[in-house]
Amino acid sequence: MGLQLQGLPDFPWDALTPFAERARAHPDGIVDLSVGTPVDPTPQVVRAALAAAADAPGYPTTHGTAALREAVAAWFARRRGVPSLDPGAVLPTVGSKELVAWLPSLLGLGPGDVVVHPEVAYPTYDVGARFAGASPLPADDVTAWAGRDDVRLVWLNSPGNPTGQVLGVDELREVVDAARRIGAVVASDECYALLAWDEPWASGGVPSILDPRVCGPSHEGLLAVHSLSKQSNLAGYRAAFVAGDPQLVGRLLEVRKHAGMMVPGPVQAAMVAALDDDAHVDEQRARYRRRRTALLAAVEQAGLEVDASPAGLYLWARAAGPGQDCWQTVADLADLGVLVAPGAFYGPSGARHVRMALTASDDDVARAAARLSGA
Ligand SMILES: Cc1ncc(COP(=O)(O)O)c(C=O)c1O
């Protein structure tokens, strides 16, 4: 059975073009908060490591260098409350989007298999299930799939895109227990884990699926997916990794070796530098916190309500009261010269919300905040 391209959604961003034009007509220009692409400089320590590794005549290893896998394991112990990760069970990926899109196929899933993902979600979970010919099932509640033996993979995303929702230890454990009972894999996309704003997550940390409080002593059936794009301003490097169950990672490694899915050597060296240095991540987090505080106050002054959003790089907002369709809110904000993403891009339950990214320069955030609070 070949790659399944039928049933893929239209690339939704084209639908925003008329609203971008409307926002561009603002006398002081557009502030684009629709896409979440980092805008701050790549840290010097990471650029220096990339440059120092620029002489790279040979092929990189698909499994990643020992230095990289050890840096990932040490980072999980230091920053993610996972003390016992086996460096052999770490695999670098070319950013995490490709892993999200290909994981069902790499695990051998196909027609008749079900892939669960959050109801309001990053669209690539759905796309990946369809590539494999499997069926996506949007569900936040474990009871929607517990006991079903056709469920082979369950995606979690905490903190979530677009809602910023965080899953606590008990919620994660409930998913792990239900998945283990039916032999399904749990893949937890944790790319915003270090970007938490509200308590208890800001000081207590966002729990990982590999945390022993969640999964006990074994990582069986579990994969944590993490990216350096956001926390280290490295989206252009394509620097991410997956880690967890040694057998599952071994299977992914085998297929990825055959398919040539490897991270360039200089990028692997840059990843080691990024993982070893907490200071730049803390600085970047402080920047996003300032932007979030400014935007949050202005959005509330504009009469919008912000739901969830205790962590991550977005505000998940809607018109106050009974609520209006997200496209109307997108239009209202475009008239202020502020472009945001309609919640409908992330699933039908997002139809009354808009997503505002914190990934804009200080100057752009200040301009957006001034326009919103004046509205
Ligand atoms: C939830 C989620 N997962 C994965 C990604 C992909 O990130 P990258 O491919 O840059 O690692 C994104 C990017 O926005 C995301 O929001």
188 lines ligand 1 (CB under 6 A): no
Atom of ligand 1 nearest to the CA of 229: 10
Strand-pair partners of 306: 317
Full-model pTM: 0.97
In order of 50, 65, 66, 70, 237, the CA distances from 276 in angstroms are: 14, 15, 14, 10, 17
166 lines ligand 1 (CB under 6 A): no
* pLDDT value, residue 323: 79
d(CA 325, CA 369) in angstroms, rounded, equals 22
CB-CB contact of 125 with 136 (8 Å):
yes
**What residues does each domain of the chain span?**
12-41+280-374, 45-277
Domain spanning 12-41+280-374: which CATH class is it, in words? alpha beta
d(CA 368, CA 375) in angstroms, rounded, equals 11
CB-CB contact of 291 with 360 (8 Å):
yes
96 lines ligand 1 (CB under 6 A): yes
Domain spanning 45-277: which CATH class is it, in words? alpha beta
Identify the segments of the chain with pLDDT beneath 70: 1-2, 375
* pLDDT value, residue 1: 58
Atom of ligand 1 nearest to the CA of 160: 1
In this structure, the residue with its CA closest to atom 12 of ligand 1 is 97
CB-CB contact of 110 with 150 (8 Å):
no
